[in-house]
Every structure is written in C-alpha cells, then in structure tokens.
C-alpha cells in the first residue's frame, strides 16, 4: 500500500538531489529511506530512479510520477492551509 510518507520521501530525494541529503533532511537512516523507495517501486511495478550511474536520476516514469505527486501534494497542502485559516467554512 502506497503512503503519503513514501511520496514525501520521493519528493525530498528529488529536491535534495539524492538519498543521503534527503535522509539527513528527513531525519531517517539512509538505508531505511532506500528501503521505502524500493518498496514503493515494487508496489508500483516500475523503477523510479535510474541508479546505473553514481548520481541518481529519475526514470521517465519516475519523472511523470514526481510531477504528478508534487502538483497534487502541493494542492492538498494548500487545501489544508485554507481549512486551517477558515475553519468556519467547513
């Protein structure tokens, strides 16, 4: 089952440029972060990152996933932010 936490991990890896920097920012062990992404890849049925070179990069499928997640999670955050500012609306 996919989780928002895994999606946040993926976004953080992309935005920090790698697993080590992301693990430091997220306060999680690099091995645990790698395992979460590997689990996500297995559940999705495709590789998110191309690990064939020293520096990781998104696969085409990973790029599409990242863009979609980023857009949708940003939208979700803005909805919660709006709700917190205007609780009387709901």
Section 59-66 average pLDDT: 96
What's the helix, strand, coil split of the chain in %, to 5? 70, 5, 25
Section 66-73 average pLDDT: 92
The whole-number pLDDT of residue 82 equals 59
Between 87 and 36, the higher pLDDT residue: 36
> Using 50, 70 and 90 to split pLDDT, how confident is the model at 21?
very high
Report whether pLDDT(89) > 50: no
**What are the angstrom distances between the C-alpha of 15 and each of 72, 85, 86, 87?**
16, 28, 30, 32
């Amino acid at each position: 089952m996919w989780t928002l936490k895994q999606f946040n991990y993926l976004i953080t890896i992309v935005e920090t440029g790698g697993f080590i920097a992301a693990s430091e920012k997220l306060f999680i062990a690099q091995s645990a972060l790698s395992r979460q992404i590997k689990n996500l890849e297995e559940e999705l049925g495709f590789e998110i990152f191309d690990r064939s070179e020293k520096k990781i990069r998104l696969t085409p499928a990973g790029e599409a996933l990242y863009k979609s997640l980023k857009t949708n999670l940003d939208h979700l955050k803005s909805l919660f932010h709006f709700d917190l500012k205007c609780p009387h609306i709901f």
